[in-house]
Amino acid sequence: MKKLGILISGRGSNFEAIARAVQDGRLQAQIAVVISNRPEAKGLETARAMGLQAVSLPSKGVERSAYDRQLVQVLRQNNVDLVCLAGFMRLLTPVMIQAFAGRIINIHPSLLPAFPGLDAQKQAFDYGVKITGCTVHYVIEEMDAGPILRQAAVPVLPNDTVDDLSKRILAAEHQLYVETLQDVLTKI
């Protein structure tokens, strides 16, 4: 069974979707550890409630490479095969990228390369696109770049608010992340 390390910073709904898929056998993997760089992340509580190992590794004030060395240590201690970023709000350095070369994936709430960065749903909404979506991609040093694994398209409907659109994208994210993982895990 391949071991996942999931990195979060907040709500953790993508992590939870992955964890549910593992629980009910849709995903053949084990969640070895959930790590948050923010101690108050709701996802940490969810992980603990699900009986998973949840580690708070605060990043505030820690230099980026030094932080990544700590991350690598925790992930290696737990024999992690694949690192899944799920709302992890911190740019990784070569320390992490090289330690887990080709084994770090991320989900972003737009059809990359459109709308990278923060508030991608609002960026798409404000631009006036009629179709947006979400992307799961391999992580490289550059933010929200890296080879695309899968994407899902989500329509912007006439009376949408940004909130309506974000919710529709989030539902698509949960499905896309699980499907992509099913696929990636057969290849590593």
108 catalytic residue (yes or no): yes
Pair type for strands 3-8 and 82-85: parallel
Sole binder of ligand GRF in the list 2, 3, 11, 69 (CB under 6 A): 11
x/- contact string, 73-112, with ligand GRF (CB under 6 A)?
A: -------------xx-------------------xxx---
CA neighbours closer than 13 Å in the CB half-sphere of residue 162: 11
CA neighbours closer than 13 Å in the CB half-sphere of residue 71: 33
Q: Is 133 in the site for ligand GRF (CB under 6 A)?
A: no
Q: Is 14 in the site for ligand GRF (CB under 6 A)?
A: yes
Minimum gap (Å) between residue 17 Cβ and ligand GRF: 8
Answer whether 19's CB lies under 8 Å from 31's CB: yes
H-state helical runs in the chain: 13-23, 42-49, 64-77, 94-99, 120-127, 162-185
Minimum gap (Å) between residue 115 Cβ and ligand GRF: 11
Summarize as ranges the residues that interact with ligand GRF (CB under 6 A). 8, 10-14, 86-87, 107-109, 170, 173
> What is the set of active-site residues?
108
